């Protein structure tokens, strides 16, 4: 985009605090409210935008050059882009053999507003020091900054909101995956039911690669309906919003614990923690990126991919579960394992899309846990 086009596509980001950042529009010509978070990944913007956990959030990429390798259908993590908005320093045209579409074109196609040309370093520092904020993106020029700040302040926000039921699938389905580029998959000799609170495709692929046939069900599917499917295990997925607002999922977790082996990731981890009697608390600026260090109980360190705004507090799980991972940046709980039941969960994303592969072993551990519960298999 040349300077003349930039001048003609003026846009701004107005924070609830009153701070305003000016740039130019590089996405859909729409205005929107959202919560601003920053992501420290150097790449993976397509997987980030298509992660349903980013629903109602504006993602600020701390890496300065975004869009270089374009967009392709194979790297989508869900059916569409779910982020409410996108903020970058510089948006580039693609130059990569895998690219099927430019990031700019995809943002327009999915009706996502985006701003480039702002000082993302200053914005990131503001969020680190003051915490995440509600905000308003204006690309249409229909309101002034003062009105946008007011709209940001009146927006409901993320807290106490159930967005999992908004992004979930409409009805149960069997996940179909035959591998990429001649990849050979093991026989699917186990059956797992996965709750879709905003599940990413690579989580489902990872379960299939571990030899599991996966039935995906909507977020409000009852525990009784899941048990009627006679699965070998149950999976609680990632998802957006406040974990304390999904009471139906917490109750279903309580009703399933002790009946089947269970694994949870991200929101699923928080749901399991709440089902045990713990509480969740919002982090100052969340964990968003693919370079988060976590340490397990043997003091081995893994670099993990993360995307969450809330954490499980350790109080309330004493005697019920052990903490298996902690975040080395802030000491927050990153993993749980029940002492007397076949249940474990992690706050980070072992499916690594985007991110490192350090934690892929957890899907194998889920498989092994199921087999230990089913000696006849």
Give CA separation, 167 vs 236, 334, 371, in Å. Answer: 15, 24, 32
CATH of domain 3-154: 3.50.30.20
**What does the pLDDT read at residue 240?**
98
Condensed to tens digits (0 to 9), the pLDDT of residues 236-279 reads 999 999 999 999 999 999 999 999 999 999 999 999 999 999 99
Q: Tokens 């993106």 appear where? A: 137
- Window from 182-186, 263-267, 280-284 with minimum mean pLDDT: 182-186
**What does the pLDDT read at residue 374?**
63
Residue 6 — very low, low, confident or very high, per pLDDT cuts 50/70/90? Answer: low
Distance between CA atoms of residues 27 and 18, nearest Å: 23
* Complete DSSP assignment for 87-144: E-SEE-----TT-SB-HHHHHHHTT--EEESS-HHHHHHHHHHH--EEEEEE-S--S-
What is the mean predicted confidence (pLDDT) over 304-333?
95
Helix (H) or strand (E) holding 326: strand 321-327
Q: Tokens 């003051």 appear where? A: 130
**What does the pLDDT read at residue 203?**
98
Percent of the chain past pLDDT 90, that is, above it, reads 93
b/e per residue, 264-298, with b = 16+ CB within 10 A?
Answer: bbbbbbbbbbbbbebebebbebbbbbbebebbbee
Domain with residues 164-373, CATH architecture = 3-Layer(aba) Sandwich (3.40)
Q: What is the strand order of the sheet 233-236 is part of?
A: 173-174, 212-218, 190-196, 233-236, 262-265, 343-346, 333-338, 321-327, 280-296, 301-312
Condensed to tens digits (0 to 9), the pLDDT of residues 7-57 reads 567 999 999 999 999 999 999 999 999 999 999 999 999 999 999 999 999
Both tokens of 143, joined, read 């309101």
**What does the pLDDT read at residue 1?**
61
Question: Active-site positions?
Answer: 266, 349, 351
**CB atoms near residue 341 (< 10 Å):** 16
**What does the pLDDT read at residue 316?**
85
Q: Where are the domains of the chain?
A: 3-154, 164-373
pTM of whole model > 0.75?
A: yes
Condensed to tens digits (0 to 9), the pLDDT of residues 126-170 reads 999 999 999 999 999 999 999 999 999 999 999 999 999 999 999
**What does the pLDDT read at residue 4?**
57
SS (H, E, C) 230-263: CCCEEEECCCCCCHHHCHHHHHHHHHHECCECEE
What is the mean predicted confidence (pLDDT) over 339-352?
96
**What does the pLDDT read at residue 174?**
97
Both tokens of 323, joined, read 């903490």
Distance between CA atoms of residues 357 and 349, nearest Å: 10
**What does the pLDDT read at residue 318?**
87
| In contact, 172 and 220? CB cutoff 8 Å | no
Both tokens of 274, joined, read 């709440």
**What does the pLDDT read at residue 9?**
79
Condensed to tens digits (0 to 9), the pLDDT of residues 102-116 reads 999 999 999 999 999
Does 376 score more than 60 pLDDT?
no
Residue 377 — very low, low, confident or very high, per pLDDT cuts 50/70/90? Answer: very low
Give CA separation, 102 vs 66, 69, 355, in Å. Answer: 11, 8, 22
Give yes or no for a cis peptide into 354 (omega within 30° of 0).
yes
Calculate the average pLDDT of the chain.
Answer: 95
**What does the pLDDT read at residue 182?**
81
Q: Is 211 left (phi over 0), alpha (psi -120 to 50) or beta?
A: left
**What does the pLDDT read at residue 215?**
98
Output phi, psi for 256, to 5 deg.
-100, -25
Does 3 score more than 80 pLDDT?
no
**What does the pLDDT read at residue 241?**
95
Does 319 score more than 60 pLDDT?
yes
**What does the pLDDT read at residue 181?**
84
What lies within 8 Å, CB to CB, of 240 at 6+ separation is 52, 53, 54, 55, 56, 57, 82, 158, 163, 164, 166, 167, 198, 267
């Amino acid at each position: 985009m040349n300077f003349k086009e930039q001048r003609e596509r003026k846009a701004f980001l107005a924070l609830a605090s009153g701070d305003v950042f000016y740039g130019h529009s590089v996405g859909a010509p729409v205005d929107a409210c959202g919560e601003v978070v920053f992501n420290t990944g150097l790449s993976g913007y397509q997987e980030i935008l298509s992660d349903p956990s980013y629903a109602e959030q504006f993602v600020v990429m701390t890496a300065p050059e975004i869009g270089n390798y374009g967009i392709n259908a194979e790297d989508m993590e869900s059916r569409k882009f779910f982020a409410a908005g996108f903020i970058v320093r510089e948006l580039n045209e693609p130059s990569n053999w895998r690219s099927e579409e430019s990031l700019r074109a995809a943002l327009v196609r999915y009706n996502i507003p985006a701003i480039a040309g702002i000082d993302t370093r200053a914005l990131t520092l503001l969020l680190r020091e003051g915490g995440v904020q509600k905000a308003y993106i204006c690309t249409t020029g229909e309101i002034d900054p003062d009105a946008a700040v007011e709209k940001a302040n009146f927006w409901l926000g993320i807290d106490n909101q159930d967005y999992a039921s908004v992004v979930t699938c409409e009805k149960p389905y069997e996940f179909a995956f035959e591998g990429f580029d001649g990849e050979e998959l093991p026989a699917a000799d186990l059956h797992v039911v996965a709750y879709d609170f905003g599940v990413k495709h690579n989580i489902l692929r990872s379960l299939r690669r571990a030899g599991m046939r996966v039935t995906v069900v909507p977020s409000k599917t009852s525990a009784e309906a899941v048990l009627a499917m006679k699965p070998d295990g149950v999976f609680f997925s990632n998802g957006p919003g406040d974990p304390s607002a999904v009471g139906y999922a917490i109750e279903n977790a309580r009703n399933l614990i002790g009946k089947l082996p269970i694994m949870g990731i991200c929101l699923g981890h928080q749901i399991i923690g709440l089902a045990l009697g713990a509480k969740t608390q919002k982090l100052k600026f969340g964990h968003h990126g693919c370079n988060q260090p976590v340490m397990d109980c043997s003091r081995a360190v893994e670099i993990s991919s993360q995307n969450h705004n809330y954490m499980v507090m350790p109080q309330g799980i004493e005697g019920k579960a052990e903490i298996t991972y902690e975040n080395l940046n802030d000491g927050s709980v990153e993993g749980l394992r029940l002492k007397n039941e076949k249940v474990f969960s992690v706050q980070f994303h072992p499916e690594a899309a985007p991110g490192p592969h350090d934690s892929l072993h957890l899907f194998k551990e889920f498989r092994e846990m199921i087999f230990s519960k089913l000696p006849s298999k």
